[in-house]
Structure 1
Amino acid sequence: MTASPLTQSPTRPSSDASAQLERLIDVMARLRDPENGCPWDVAQTPATIAPYAIEEAYEIADAIDRGAWDETADELGDLLLQVVFQARMAEESGRFDFATVARAIADKMIRRHPHVFTDETTAARDDAALMAQWEARKEQERIARAETGALAGVPRALPALLRARKLAARAARVGFDWPDVEGVFAKVQEEVNEVGVELANGDRDALEDEIGDLLFATASLARRLELDPEACLRRANDKFTRRFQALEAILAEQGLTPSGRTVDELDAVWNKVKERERAGKTRSA
């Protein structure tokens, strides 16, 4: 008889990993000690430290993007600290403890991977079949939590572009989507035109609404192209930063700064920076 997927134990972590995790939990308990702990840590609440978890997640993404693996290990530790911190405060208030957190995620992973942890098999072990199985399991969990509707469970606190991508993907699962990429691209163009109309009208509230629609449509286009809109924007931010710093360097060689230069002067230098980048790519190709 196959063991229950909720009680099976996959490969256990090394004894050192277990010991270090226990040590971290003990460190947090010491920091939160009302009498001998750190006053700052003792004063914190789940709400006051919640923003740090988001910040740490972005710092992990940045370190990975740069291939800074020593930094990545450090940043992962910072995020793990946030988990331990929240679990400690929850334990103090009698809600749950770290073991509850670890048990819940282990159970969830086993439950969502029956093709790995039980004799249950999918019709095919290809990516599409496994993704469909994953989404079906998540839907069952949402129903169990009394969450209804295709958009249930998409957190409002997500970064706006990421949330837009997830909302559009959820709607697409129930057929609310364009039949092809061209339809999404046409929607982006339509939203650009509507922004132009509101620019002419001078209605700031309507303009905010239309720019939001444009960003949402752009996120939907990225989704259909299997691109991450957040990653696309991060890349654009990095490119702008690189080019603007190069612009400043060119002006500095002439004893100048961007301040006081005309738009035409700055545009000319900007185009020079772009030409240098293109020439550099051609040489490296």
Structure 2
Amino acid sequence: MVEYQQKEHYSINDLLDIVRLLRGEGGCPWDREQTHKSIKSDFIEETCEVIEAIDLEDADLLREELGDVLLQVVFHCRIEEETNSFTFDDVCDEICKKLIIRHPHVFGDVTANSTDQVLKNWDAIKMETKGQKRYTDTLTSVAKSLPALMRAQKVGKRAMRAGMDFRCAEDAIACIGNEKAELDAAVISGDKANIEEEIGDLLFSCVNAARLLGVDAELALKAATEKFIKRFSITEELVSAEGVDMKNLPIEELDIYWDKAKSIISKTEEQKK
């Protein structure tokens, strides 16, 4: 049994000590077996739960979930510390230096009176400190592990900063129509590889339109998915109320119930206003 002083209130130093004990001799067998790769999905899951807490506007849940994310950071740092690679303090040191360097308008003598100027300075400093010589380098540095929509929007945003962008949102929307026409042609040809490529182009054009309209494509799709689930649920309730299994109905009849579900939701939302 590992002894540890019980406290009324713990700090970051306590968390560092606890993780060290869990990973050490006499600690937890599971914790000692973990590697960066074995728990990387946990990091994603904990981050998503933070987002959920933010969406719910639940401060208590947010506090808890931020703690789980912090644990992930400390845990990964501990794994590296065991090989004398770097420590949690090194991580804190690096991010503090980065923040100071990238905010010369706060910690230096640079003037930046608007958010746009701050972002321009940030991008220029980032390119310099990361040794990025071309605008292309800023695009390829966007993590491939990001969700596809989020990565596409970020790539488009960085291309915009290099001057490669639509003149306006209307042009981006028009591009959606062009890509849809190319997809139609690919479907007629029956070429699966071409169909996949054109669907990708269509999705990318939708992301560009969202960006220029000030919409987060990732959040927009998330909301659309939730809306679909809600409508699907009510549709199923309507069908089940008549003693029918929805999978036994043709799509034409299901569409009738679907429209009824949309009407119910619209009336409910109108009553809430």
TM-score by length of 1: 0.87
Structure 2's unaligned 5+ residue stretches are 1-7
| Distance in structure 2 (CA, Å) of the matches to 1:270 and 1:147 | 47
| Distance in structure 1 (CA, Å) of the matches to 2:199 and 2:257 | 29
User: Match for 1:80: what amino acid?
Assistant: L
| Distance in structure 2 (CA, Å) of the matches to 1:266 and 1:60 | 37
| Distance in structure 1 (CA, Å) of the matches to 2:135 and 2:187 | 40
Name 1:43's counterpart in structure 2: 33
| Distance in structure 2 (CA, Å) of the matches to 1:278 and 1:222 | 24
Q: Deviation of residue 54 (structure 1)?
A: 1.7
User: Match for 1:278: what amino acid?
Assistant: S
Q: Deviation of residue 253 (structure 1)?
A: 2.1
User: Match for 1:136: what amino acid?
Assistant: A
Give the count of matched residue pairs: 266
CA RMSD in angstroms comes to 2.1
User: Match for 1:263: what amino acid?
Assistant: I
Alignment of 1:1-285 (within 5 A): 19-33=10-24, 35-118=25-108, 120-122=109-111, 124-143=112-131, 149-285=137-273
| Distance in structure 1 (CA, Å) of the matches to 2:95 and 2:49 | 23
The answer as to whether partners of 1:90 and 1:97 remain within 8 angstroms in 2 is yes
| Distance in structure 1 (CA, Å) of the matches to 2:28 and 2:134 | 40
User: Match for 1:167: what amino acid?
Assistant: V
| Distance in structure 2 (CA, Å) of the matches to 1:279 and 1:115 | 51
1:280–1:229 Cα change, 3 Å: same
After TM superposition, which residue ranges in structure 1, 4 or more long, deviate above 6 angstroms?
144-148
TM-score by length of 2: 0.90
Q: Deviation of residue 147 (structure 1)?
A: 9.7
User: Match for 1:184: what amino acid?
Assistant: A
| Distance in structure 1 (CA, Å) of the matches to 2:253 and 2:191 | 32
Q: Deviation of residue 145 (structure 1)?
A: 10
| Distance in structure 1 (CA, Å) of the matches to 2:189 and 2:56 | 44
What's the CA shift string for 1:40-65, capped at 9, x where partnerless? Answer: 21111112212221221111112211
